[in-house]
Amino acid sequence: MTLLDETIRTPRGTRRFRAYTGKHLDELTARAGLGAEERLAARAVATVLPFRTNAYVVEELIDWSAAPEDPIYRLVFPQPDMLPAADVAHLAGLIRRGASGAELQAAATGVRMRLNPHPAGQLELNVPRVGEAPISGVQHKYPETVLFFPKQGQTCHAYCTYCFRWAQFIGEPDLKFASDDVTALVAYLRAHPEVTSVLLTGGDPMIMGEAVLRRYLEPLLAVEQLESVRIGTKSLAYWPQRFLTDPDADDTLRLFEQVVTAGKNLAFQAHFTHPREMEPGLVANAVRRILDTGAVIRTQAPLIRTVNDDPAVWSSMWRRQHVMGMVPYYMFVERDTGPRDYFAVPLARAHEIFRDAYADVSGLCRTVRGPSMSATPGKVCVDGVAEVAGRKVFVLHLIQARDPGLVGRPFFAEYDPEAVWLTDLRPAFADRFPYQAA
């Protein structure tokens, strides 16, 4: 008998999902020991960047005795210094004097527009078109992979403070990718036989109930060229009950089995940012149930200053994931959007962290790649720092690229200990990078 043959009953006292939003922020930050002015500054930041968490994260993952320095607290709660001090002071002043919602919203929007809400050419380069009309809720950056943003999946069980898709959550339609037209998606796939993989992303598709998720997944099973269906999700970390005790948990897992039975690889792209997210026993149970459907769970996360910028954190996380049956997949570099200046780690230090963590795990964990920048030309991996012809340089290659001919070709950049993103780098031994036009 598999786990899917048994319904896991909700234990007595198990909490149902309860979300906390901005209206709870003052109370929760007081619990972290913040004074009145610090709490006001956190509320000011939350007018610009989205805040949402839930009772499971608050009660099971955060060590309140260590807050506000606790890494999980920093992962989900806005920090007063995440934005420029002048912006925070202005927004806090508006809140203090009881400014109208319209005035506060206008000021917050002005700050947002300086935070590069859609990096890496997402609007200009990634959205496919039929004639002159863009296809809503679809991105197609790499030939074999299409991203789809299901309309009902554009929120999360909790928001990460570093999230590069923060613009999905702030209620401004012009900044949001979303579609409920799966028929248009299927038509696009059939018109593009080079596409072999679809990634449902957001937000978090696992915020959707089974009946809604089914409406998006089932039509994909009839697209013969598709080899894999991916689901990008943080639900295993922020609400593992989704696969255990939620009312439709068993139906959701049967849907996963249906995808696998149809001959598609179901790849669960699970986001774990810190080892503590895997400590509750619920997580191991949820992972086991997902794996029993035939799905594969691959893990990924960005390198975040003050949260996981320590090799021991990453090696511990990868080892634990391997023991649980998951496959370490990516260490990302924090993208050039939102409060990037607050969270970014210099590329030289990022490589040191990756190298030291990688050296501390067995070969079975070394499926992981990174540190990788999801930049405009593709996924650029920092392979290391070397001395070549008497010059200290970064050695890099493209793991994925808009131009598939560039994948896997090494190239060099001048060493810069302060560089945090691809655009900070200058070519070495050439007048341009391989992906730049002559």
The pLDDT tens digits for 43-65 are 999 999 889 999 999 999 999 99
The pLDDT, as a whole number, for residue 258 is: 98
The structure tokens listed for 72 are: 């999980």
Q: Where are the domains of the chain?
A: 17-112
Q: What is the pLDDT of residue 15?
A: 63
Q: What is the pLDDT of residue 61?
A: 98
Q: How far is CA 107 from the centre of its chain?
A: 27
Report the pLDDT value the prediction gives residue 112, as an integer from 0 to 100: 85
Query: Residues 117-145: pLDDT tens digits?
Result: 766 555 667 888 877 788 889 999 999 99
Q: What is the pLDDT of residue 202?
A: 85
* pLDDT recorded at residue 126: 80
Residue 431's alpha-carbon distances to 79, 353, 387, in angstroms, are 41, 30, 19
* Cα separation values, 172 from 87, 108, 166, 340, 432, Å: 20, 12, 11, 21, 37
- Residue 129 near residue 117 (C-beta atoms within 8 A): no
Cα gap 338→32, rounded to integer Å? 24
Q: How confident is the model at residue 172 (pLDDT cuts 50, 70, 90)?
A: low
Paired residues of 36 in beta bridges: none
Cis previous bond, 203, omega within 30: yes
Question: Chain centroid to CA 355: how far?
Answer: 22
pLDDT > 90 fraction of the chain, expressed in percent and rounded: 80
**Better pLDDT: 119 or 409:** 409
Over residues 383-409, the mean pLDDT reads 96
| pLDDT attached to residue 51 | 93
Tens digits of per-residue pLDDT, 320-365? 999 999 999 999 999 877 788 888 999 999 999 999 999 999 999 9
Pairing relationship of beta strands 133-134 and 138-142 according to DSSP bridges = unpaired
Give the residue, 125 or 38, on which the prediction is more confident.
38
Is 80 exceeded by the pLDDT of residue 174?
Answer: no
At residue 221, what are phi and psi to the nearest 5 degrees? Answer: -70, -20
pLDDT, average across residues 234-251: 97
| Predicted model pTM | 0.92
Q: How many angstroms separate the CA atoms of 282 and 295, rounded?
A: 18
Please give the average per-residue pLDDT across 210-217, as a whole number. 97
pLDDT above 70 for 161 = yes
Kindly report, residue by residue over 289-314, the tens digit of the pLDDT: 999 999 999 999 999 999 999 999 99
Closest CA to 145 of 88, 225, 202: 225
- So what's the pLDDT on residue 231? 98
Give the DSSP H or E segment for 375.
strand 369-375
Q: How many helices (H) and strands (E) does the chain have?
A: 14, 15
User: Which conformational region is residue 190 in: left (phi greater than 0), alpha (psi within -120 to 50 degrees), or beta?
Assistant: alpha
pLDDT of residue 168: 73
Q: Is the pLDDT at 230 greater than 90, yes or no? A: yes
Residue 105, classed as helix, strand or coil, is: helix
SS3 191: helix
Residue 12 has a pLDDT of 37
pLDDT band at 13 (very low <50, low <70, confident <90, very high): very low
- Of residues 167, 244, 251, the one with CA closest to residue 213: 251
> Average per-residue pLDDT in the chain?
91
- CA angle 125-233-167, nearest 5°? 45
- pLDDT tens digit string along 414-434? 999 999 999 999 999 999 999
The predicted structure's pLDDT at residue 5: 33
Rounded alpha-carbon distances, angstroms, from residue 383 to 71, 165, 410: 27, 26, 9
Nearest to 82 by CA among 315, 291, 337, 299: 337
Q: Would you state the pLDDT for residue 118?
A: 65
Distances (CA, A) of 271 to 204, 298, 326, 436: 11, 9, 11, 32
Question: Is the link from the previous residue into 404 a cis peptide, with omega within 30 of 0?
Answer: no
